[in-house]
Amino acid sequence: MKIRLEHLTKRFPNRNKKIKTEVVAVNDFDIEIPDGKLIGLLGPSGCGKSTALNLICGLEAPSEGRIYFGDEDVTDIPPEKRGVGLVFQNYALYPHLTVRENIIFPLQNLKGDKKLTKDEMNRKAEEAARLVQIENLMDRRPGEMSGGQQQRVAIARALVKMPNVLLLDEPLSNLDARLRLQTREELSRIQKETGITTIFVTHDQEEAMSISDMIVVMKDGVINQTGEPQKVYDDPVNLFVAKFLGTPPINVFEGEVRDNKLYVGENDILDIKGADDKKVYVGIRPEGFVLNPAGRLKCKFVRVEVMGRDTSVIATNEAFLGESIRAIIPTEEKKEPADGVVCFDVKPFKVLIFDRETEERIYFEA
Amino acid sequence: MKPELKKNVRAWLYLLPAVAFLAVFMVYPLIDVVIYSMEEGYNFASQTYRGTGLYNFRFVLRDPYFLQALKNTFIIVIITVPISTGLALLIAVVLSSIKKLRELYQTVFFLPYVTNTLAVGLVFMILFKKTPYSDGMINLLIKLFGGSAVDFIDGPYAAKMFIMCFYTIWVVMPFKILILTSALASVNEIYYKAARVDGTSPFRVFYRITLPMISPIIFYLIITGFIGAFKAYSDEVALFGTNLNAAGMNTIVGYVYDMLYGDSGGYPSYAAAAALILFAIVFTITAINLMVSKSKVYYK
C-alpha cells in the first residue's frame, strides 16, 4: 500500500518542565512511499526516526499533518484499525507465551465477523512461521531462543494478520555482526515474498544501503534526502548526508575554489568549471584517491593498513578536518614512500564540494 | 591439612556466628517445643512430668477453646487473604493508570501501614462499639438508612467476625498495594505498546499480559498472606481486648499465648502441641500453594 505523509510534524513538551520550548522530533515530513517497496529510514540516534515510525503506526498522534494509506486518511485511526504490523527493537515478545501463542495473539484479538476459528488461527500462524522459517520452534518460549530466532518470531507475529504496512524499529541492532548480515538478506526476501510495503528504521547506513529500495536520510527531525541508496551515496545534497553514508566515511578537507581550480591547502587538486570562487568544504570518498608519485594532492604518509579485502593508506594533511585521511588503494600498489610524502590524484566524480556556511552541495563540472 | 579441608574449616569459621546464633535461638527452641509437646502432665513449678506420649495433642484437639480458635483462624484466613489480595490488585491497577493525584492516593492507601495497630484498634472501637452512651459512628449510619443498631464488639458472632475481617483486610492491604504497584510499574511498557498495535482489549491485556507478568509477586503475597493470617493475634487483641476466649474471638496463636501466660496459663505442653498443630497446618497450606503455583506462575 502506498503511504503518503503530508507536512507531518510531532512536537513533544520539553522533559524539563521549566523550559517552555517544545522538542520537535519530526519536522514537516512530506514524502510519498511507493507501494510494495522496502524503505530504510536512516539517521543518527535521536533524529526522530523512531517517532516517525510511531506516527505511521499510530502509537503517537501527530501535532500537525496528515497520514494517508493509499487514498484513506488514517491520521485519526487507532493503530489496530490501520492494518500495520510493528516489530520492536527488542522484539517485545510476550515472555510467558510460547512462540505459537505469541504469533496467534494478534489473531485472537479479532472480533465480530473477522473472528477466526481455532483451526484457521493455527493455519495462519503456521503460514507466518513458515515464511520466517521457525516452524520447528513453535513450542518454545522466547527466553529459550537466540536473538535471531526471536527476531523471526517478532516478524511472524507482525505478519500474521497480513498487514498493509510492516514497520520495523531497528530490526537488526540487537543481533551480532554475522547474524545481522544473514537477517537483512532474510528481511529482504520476506519483503519480496509478501510484497508488503515495509519501512524500517536504522542508524546503520550500511544496513539501509544494502537492502532498501529507497532510503530516507533524516537529521534533527528533518528529511535531508530521499532516493535510491546508491544515488544518495553518489549524489548527496549536503555535507551531512555525504558524511553519514559510506564506510569508511568520506574525507573532508577545508578548501577553496579559485580561478576554476579546486584547492586543498596549497595544492590545486582538480580543474573545475561552473563553480564560483569561494571557500568550501571538499569531500573525497576513500575510493576516490589514485596513488601517483606526481599527484597533485600531497599528504604526509602515516601508515598502510590492510583489513581483509581493503588496503588503505592512512595519511594526514593540514587542511584535513579530523584525525587522518583514509584512502583505499589496490592491494598491489602497497608500498611506503621513502620521503614520507604520499601523493594522490583524485577521481573527479568522487569529489564533492560544499558551501562553508550552508553546508549545501555545490555542483561543478570537471 | 589438605588445602580443601582447610578451605572448608575456614568457611565454617566464617559461618560460626550465624550458626551459633541460629542454633541457640532457633534450632534449640524448635527441638524444645517438640519435646514439651510430648511430655505429659508437665508441672511448671517443679519442672517434672508423668510420662511421654501424644496426650497433649489429644487434649488440645478436644479443647472447645482450641476448636473455637481454629475455626476463627480459618475464617479469617479464608476471607481476608483473597479479598485483601484482590482488592489490593484492583487498587494498584487503578493507581497505576491514573496520573493526577496519584501520589496523594498512594500516601492515603499507605497510611494504615505506618499507623500503630493498637491505635487503629481504638479508632475501630470508637467507630463500631455500642456503649450505654453512644451507638458508635457506624451504627448511627445504619440507623440513618433504617437498620437497627448492632454491637460489633460485644454483639453476635457474625458481627464480630465481620469487623475482625474488615479490620484485618484494612491493616494488611497497604503493604500489598505497595508491592503490587511496584510490580505493575516493572512490567515493560513495550508489551503494552505491542498489545495496542494488535488491538488487544484492556481486559485481555490485563488477563493475558499484566497478570502473568506479575504472577510471581501475587503468588508471594498469597503465601505470605496465608502465613500472616494464620499467625493472627495482635489485631484480635486490639479489637476485643486480651480475654479473647471470653469474646469467642481467640485464634490459634492467641490460644498458645493463653496456655503459656493467660489466666489459664502455665501449660507449656499444651501450648507446644497447639503451636505444632499450627505449624502442620501452615506447612500443608504452603505446600499446596507451591504445587498450584507451578502450573500458574510464570518465572523468567
- Number of domains making up chain B: 1
Q: What angle do CA A109, A113, A116 make, to 5 degrees?
A: 55
Residue of B nearest to A101 (CA): B208
Residue B3 maps to a domain: no
- Same domain assignment for residues A328 and A205: no
Residue of B nearest to A98 (CA): B298
pLDDT tens-digit profile of B229-240? 999 998 888 888
CA distance A136 to chain B (A): 22
pLDDT band at B264 (very low <50, low <70, confident <90, very high): low
Containing H/E element for B225? Answer: helix B211-230
Residue B88 maps to a domain: yes
CA distance B296 to chain A (A): 11
pLDDT tens-digit profile of A344-355? 999 999 999 999
- Same domain assignment for residues A24 and A161: yes
Which residues in chain A have Cβ-Cβ distances shorter than 8 Å to B187? none
pLDDT band at B5 (very low <50, low <70, confident <90, very high): confident
**Whether the complex's predicted ipTM surpasses the cut of 0.85:** no
- Number of domains making up chain A: 2
pLDDT band at A3 (very low <50, low <70, confident <90, very high): very high
Taking an 8 Å cut-off on Cβ atoms, the answer to whether B196 and A106 are in contact is no
Q: Is A165 exposed, middle or buried (0-12, 13-18, 19+ CB in 10 A)?
A: buried
How far is the CA of A170 from the CAs of A41, A245, A339, B194, in angstroms?
Answer: 10, 17, 48, 15
CA distance B75 to B93: 27
pLDDT of residue B1: 62
- Same domain assignment for residues A21 and A166: yes
Taking an 8 Å cut-off on Cβ atoms, the answer to whether B199 and A85 are in contact is no
Residue B25 maps to a domain: no
Residue B30 maps to a domain: no
Residue after which a domain boundary falls, among A209, A244, A279 = A244
Domain harbouring B285, CATH code: 1.10.3720.10
Which residues in chain A have Cβ-Cβ distances shorter than 8 Å to B189? none
Beta-carbon contacts of A346 under 8 Å, excluding residues fewer than 6 positions away, are A269, A270, A284, A288, A289, A290, A296, A297
Which residues in chain A have Cβ-Cβ distances shorter than 8 Å to B212? 94, 96
Q: Reply yes or no on whether the pLDDT at A334 is more than 80.
A: no
Residue after which a domain boundary falls, among A244, A278, A305 = A244
pTM of the prediction? 0.80
Query: Which pairing describes strands A197-202 and A38-42: parallel, antiparallel, or unpaired?
Result: parallel
Q: In which domain, by residue range, is A293 found?
A: 251-362
Cβ atoms of A212 and A188 closer than 8 Å: no
Q: Which residue has the higher pLDDT, B191 or A275?
A: B191
Placement of cell 498493509 in the chain:
A164
Residue of A nearest to B194 (CA): A92
For testing the chain B interface, which of A57, A94, A110, A153 should be mutated: the one with the most B CBs within 10 Å?
A: A94
Residue of B nearest to A81 (CA): B199
- Same domain assignment for residues A58 and A196: yes
pLDDT of residue B256: 92
Residue after which a domain boundary falls, among A185, A214, A244 = A244
Q: How many CB pairs under 8 A join A and B?
A: 54
